[in-house]
Structure 1
Amino acid sequence: MSAERPEPAKMGLREKKKLRTRLTLQQQGLRLFREQGYAATTIEQIAEASDISPSTFFRYFPTKEALVLEDDDDRIMIDSFLRQPAELSPIRALRLAIQEGFGSMSPEAKESLSGRMGLMMTVPELRAASLIQMNEMLIMIAKLSANRLGRSGEDFDVMLFAGSIVGAMMAVQLYCADHPEADFFAVVDEALALYEAGLPLGVLGQARE
């Protein structure tokens, strides 16, 4: 019998305010990037558009680059992953955690994430930085999966699994960059469903039909 998952801890008013400010900064930054380009947009302009001071901007993001690359999604996904029943496989737990995480996001947060991913694919310096971020994601997934399996995060099998998940996320990003009409969140779940099914080659060609 599956153990019941504990309810997520409720977010305090202070944390909610911080999240709203971060989202506002990202939304205003994305708007300015669209209107005048990433390179031409300054931190001062983003802060002014968000009705805060430049010094306050740096409390939330250390650089303009971080405005695009950083968010709270990882923390939300990790918390959800850790709440999944212990008997679930890492891929199943990860898929459910991502479903739960995406499901809890507001439409504004989803729009912000999609816009930021588009920038990562088109701005050279952001694309290079996102590759470093992918390495960090691989290590994070390996540690979480290893803990669930009672193994070391440095085990080859665990690292290979984590690397395959990161590769899937990169493939989804590239696919969605070429197909802006695609629902990113649906494509992520579709990719993980294929992995959960053992990545059967016979159905790969049918998946996008």
Structure 2
Amino acid sequence: MPEPEPQGLRERKKVQTRLDIKREAFRLFDRQGYANTTVEQIAEAANVSPRTFYRYFGVKEALLLSDDHIPPIMEAFANAPADLPIIEAYRHGVATFYASLSPEQRAAAIASERMLYEIPEARGLLYSSYVRLIALITDALKRRPDAPADELERRVIAGAIVGILIAASHDNPVPDSALDEMLTILATRLTR
């Protein structure tokens, strides 16, 4: 796997600020509950202004989503080696992305995924996130040499992948082995 491009100081500061805000938000959520935590409290704990918080996240709920993870996963999926079947290419995309995370970034990703399932107010975000992911996988499949040309067929494959993510992730936010096993079953069924 090629080495990632080194980030400039400005980009590293943005990444760190984003991580600091998430870390403090999750600490406050654990201590006083999601609903009882305000953006102002999060900003103060992270030593940023509320305006800075909104520039990074827009709304409190966005702390729980990993929207910044999706584009690099889709890029690695679409650009996976051409000889990899679709499901293996998807695994490659996910593995490539998670291998690029620092331990702190991975911990933040796990914490946000866990909270998406634990916080009742956040459950609706999951549905929107999964619907968006189906569209992104459908689009990324256009760049895969073994993907069907038909849009509906690509959407069915994307829906199957996301269905597995839903099934594996329910009450198990980071289902590494379960997800891998379920993707293997899907890959086997697709090749029959």
TM over 0.5: yes
The residue number in structure 1 matching 2:116 is 120
- Three-state SS of the structure 2 residue aligned to 1:86 is coil
Instruction: Render the CA deviation track for 1:36-93: whole Å, top value 9, x for unaligned.
Output: 0000000011111111111111110000001111442112212322331223222111
> Are 1:17 and 2:13 counterparts?
yes
Matches of 1:187 and 1:76, distance apart in 2: 23
Q: How many Å separate the matches in 2 of 1:81 and 1:111?
A: 23
1:158 is the counterpart of 2:154: yes
Does the 8 Å CA contact 1:99/1:189 hold for their aligned counterparts?
no
Equivalent residue, structure 2, for 1:49: 45
Quote how far apart the aligned CAs of 1:32 are.
Answer: 0.5
Which residue does 1:187 correspond to in 2? 178
2:19 is aligned with 1:26? no
Give TM-score scaled by structure 1 length.
0.81
Secondary structure of residue in 2 paired with 1:148: coil
Distance 1:72 1:9, change over 3 A: same
Large movers: runs of 4+ above 6 Å: none
Count of residue correspondences: 190
Rounded to whole Å, the distance in 1 between the matches of 2:101 and 2:185 is 24
The one of the two structures with greater contact order (alpha-carbon pairs below 8 A, sep at least 6) is 2
Equivalent position of 1:109 in the other structure? 105
CA distance in 1, matches of 2:186, 2:158: 12
Checking the alignment, whether the CA contact within 8 Å between 2:77 and 2:92 is kept in structure 1 is yes
The structure-2 alpha-carbon separation of the partners of 1:187 and 1:17, relative to structure 1 and needing over 3 Å to count, comes to farther
- The residue correspondences of 1:13-92 to structure 2 (distance < 5 A) are 13-92=9-88
Query: Structure 2 stretches of 5 or more lacking a match?
Result: none
Instruction: For residue 151 of structure 1, report the CA deviation from its aligned partner.
Output: 5.0
Question: Percent identity over the alignment?
Answer: 35
C-alpha distance 194-8 of structure 1, shift in aligned 2 (>3 A): farther
Task: Give the Cα–Cα distance (whole angstroms) in 2 for the partners of residues 21 and 86 of structure 1.
Answer: 37
Q: Residue 111 and residue 7 in structure 1: after superposition, are their counterparts in 2 closer, same or farther (change >3 A)?
A: closer
Structure 1 stretch displaced more, 21-30 or 191-200? 191-200
- Secondary structure of the equivalent of 1:115? helix
Aligned residue type for 2:87: I
- Summarize deviations over 1:161-187 as a string: whole Å, max 9, x none: 10011111111211516xxxxx63343
Distance in 2 between residues matched to 1:146 and 1:108, nearest whole Å: 33
